[in-house]
A and B are shown apart, each in its own frame.
Chain A
């Protein structure tokens, strides 16, 4: 599965992803990797309806995401992976999947989260998962849309 982007974004499929990233990177398929949404009909329909018809959309729970990535399915497609949280990305990496880089946008502000960047607010738990991802030599890049400059945040989370 050639990955054109693997991104942690608590809004999953939204304007920045469809109009920003998908327009620039032209993926064949967007995969939402999330246990709740894989089991929730209205959310799957909602997210599918907000993507242009020429891009396929799949919803995998984290177990299935790891299986698909480890078995290199969709090998003829350019794929964009979306995770809701650092914890979800870690749960896939933990199963043996490796990423060169993860794009990080969000999590946005929630109670108890501390600002790392204006749109990245981390709880201790989030920070712990990001630290684990850094230990696997993954480059964590904060970047909202392709036109703006990426910022490597590895040194900020360890």
Chain B
């Protein structure tokens, strides 16, 4: 099973997972990491420890946004690990799509698929245009 680690500032990762569970039910292989108060090295080690515990699995790692310290740590991990794809700018539709698609879409196609779903949910909406 493809697993995921969501890495964010504050409690966003944990809350995203809890919110997704409200919508979709219990999810296996979904982990959250916060950078709060952690040195960069320690943040990397925490992410790597989760990956090392699951040597037979592949991971989609989500970071909150491109350019922050969470993203920096995730790039270090991606650079070191074979079985990881990194996606930045995580949102709730992307996470829900991950749960639905993770075993239905080829691992290498997942990032593109999930980003498309995340982007598709961002719209300027006016009732009259629907």
**A residues whose Cβ falls under 8 Å from a Cβ of B:** 10-11, 14-15, 42-43, 46, 49-50, 106-111, 113, 118-119, 121
Given known A-B contacts A42-B75, A109-B37, A119-B37, A49 and B67 have beta carbons under 8 A apart? yes
30 example contacts (A-B, Cβ-Cβ < 8 A) are as follows A10-B39, A10-B40, A11-B40, A11-B72, A14-B69, A14-B72, A15-B68, A15-B69, A42-B75, A43-B72, A46-B67, A46-B72, A46-B75, A50-B67, A50-B68, A107-B39, A108-B39, A108-B40, A108-B42, A109-B37, A109-B38, A109-B39, A109-B42, A110-B38, A110-B39, A110-B42, A111-B42, A113-B39, A118-B37, A119-B37
State in angstroms the CA–CA spacing of A121 and B68 once bound together: 21
State in angstroms the CA–CA spacing of A4 and B73 once bound together: 28
Which residues of chain A come closer than 8 Å to B124, judged between CB atoms?
Answer: none
Which residues of chain A come closer than 8 Å to B72, judged between CB atoms?
Answer: 11, 14, 43, 46
State in angstroms the CA–CA spacing of A49 and B67 once bound together: 7
State in angstroms the CA–CA spacing of A108 and B9 once bound together: 14
**B residues whose Cβ falls under 8 Å from a Cβ of A:** 37-42, 66-69, 71-72, 75, 79
Could you tell me if B67 and A108 are in contact, using CB atoms closer than 8 angstroms? no
> Which 9 pairs from chain A and chain B are nearest by CB?
A50-B67, A108-B39, A110-B39, A11-B69, A14-B69, A110-B42, A109-B37, A107-B39, A10-B39
Could you tell me if A110 and B41 are in contact, using CB atoms closer than 8 angstroms? yes
State in angstroms the CA–CA spacing of A42 and B66 once bound together: 13
